[in-house]
Amino acid sequence: MKFSKLALSTSKNRLNSDECLSHRILLQSGLLRRYSSGIYGNHNLLVRSQEKIKQIIRSVLESYDCVEVSLPALQPKYIWEESGRWNKYVDSGQMFSCKMSNGTYCFAPTAEEAIFTFVRDTLKSYKDLPVNLYQIGPKFRNELRARGGLLRSKEFSMMDAYSFHSSTESLKEEYAKMKEAYFKIFKEIGLNVIPVAAMNGDMGGNLSEEFMFISDAGEDVILVDSTGKIGLNTELLEMENIGEYLQSNYGIKNIDMLSQKHCIELGHIFQLGQRYSTSMNGTFQDRNNNSIPYFMGCYGIGISRTLAAICEQNCDKNGLVWPESITPYAVYIAYSIDKHEEAFNLYSTLVNENVEVLIDDRDLSLGAKIKDSKLLGIPYMVIIGNKAKSNIYEIETRVNGQKSHMSLEQLLNLFK
- Judged by CB under 8 A, the chain residues 63 through 82 that form the site for a second copy are 65-76, 78-79
CA distance 369 to 36: 30
Choices 19-27, 59-67, 209-217, 270-278; region in contact with a second copy by CB under 8 A: 59-67
Chain mean position to CA 208: 19
Q: Is 6 in the site for a second copy (CB under 8 A)?
A: yes
Q: Which of 57, 60, 119, 266 binds a second copy (CB under 8 A)?
A: 119
Q: Which of 15, 81, 84, 103 binds a second copy (CB under 8 A)?
A: 103
The residue (of 34 and 405) whose beta carbon lies closer to a second copy is 34
The residue (of 68 and 342) whose beta carbon lies closer to a second copy is 68
Considering only residues 32 through 51, tell me which ones interact with a second copy, judged by CB under 8 A: 33, 35-37, 39-44, 46-48, 50
Q: Which of 27, 30, 274, 323 binds a second copy (CB under 8 A)?
A: 30
150 three-class SS: coil
CB of 300 to a second copy, least distance (A): 18
Q: Is 122 in the site for a second copy (CB under 8 A)?
A: yes
CB of 30 to a second copy, least distance (A): 7
φ, ψ of residue 234 in degrees (nearest 5): -65, -20
Per DSSP bridges, beta strands 357-360 and 331-335 are parallel
φ, ψ of residue 74 in degrees (nearest 5): -80, 120
The residue (of 171 and 198) whose beta carbon lies closer to a second copy is 171
Considering only residues 358 through 387, tell me which ones interact with a second copy, judged by CB under 8 A: 363
CB-based contacts of 341, cutoff 8 Å, min separation 6: none
Site size with a second copy, rule: CB under 8 A: 71
Give the Cβ contact number of residue 227 at 10 Å.
7
Q: What is the 3-state secondary structure (H, E, C) of 264-330?
A: EEEEEEEEEECHHHHHCCCEEECCCCCEEECEEEEEEEEHHHHHHHHHHHCEECCEECCCHHHCCCC
CB of 296 to a second copy, least distance (A): 13
Q: Is 102 in the site for a second copy (CB under 8 A)?
A: yes
The residue (of 164 and 270) whose beta carbon lies closer to a second copy is 164
The residue (of 17 and 102) whose beta carbon lies closer to a second copy is 102
CB of 326 to a second copy, least distance (A): 15
Q: Which of 81, 84, 98, 281 binds a second copy (CB under 8 A)?
A: 98
Q: Is 91 in the site for a second copy (CB under 8 A)?
A: no
The residue (of 79 and 263) whose beta carbon lies closer to a second copy is 79
CA distance 307 to 52: 10
Could you give the angle at the alpha carbon of 239 between the alpha carbons of 234 and 256, nearest 5°? 50
The residue (of 232 and 333) whose beta carbon lies closer to a second copy is 333
Considering only residues 124 through 163, tell me which ones interact with a second copy, judged by CB under 8 A: 124, 127-128, 131-133, 135, 137-138, 140, 142, 144, 154-155
Per DSSP bridges, beta strands 96-100 and 103-107 are antiparallel
Q: Which burial class, exposed, middle or buried, applies to 20 when counting CB atoms under 10 A from its CB (0-12, 13-18, 19+)?
A: buried
CA distance 91 to 83: 15
Q: Is 257 in the site for a second copy (CB under 8 A)?
A: no
| Omega cis (within 30) before 76 | no
The pairs formed by 85-89 with CB atoms below 8 angstroms and a separation of 24 or more are: 85/113, 88/202
CA distance 265 to 233: 11
Choices 28-36, 167-175, 332-340, 369-377; region in contact with a second copy by CB under 8 A: 28-36
CB of 166 to a second copy, least distance (A): 13
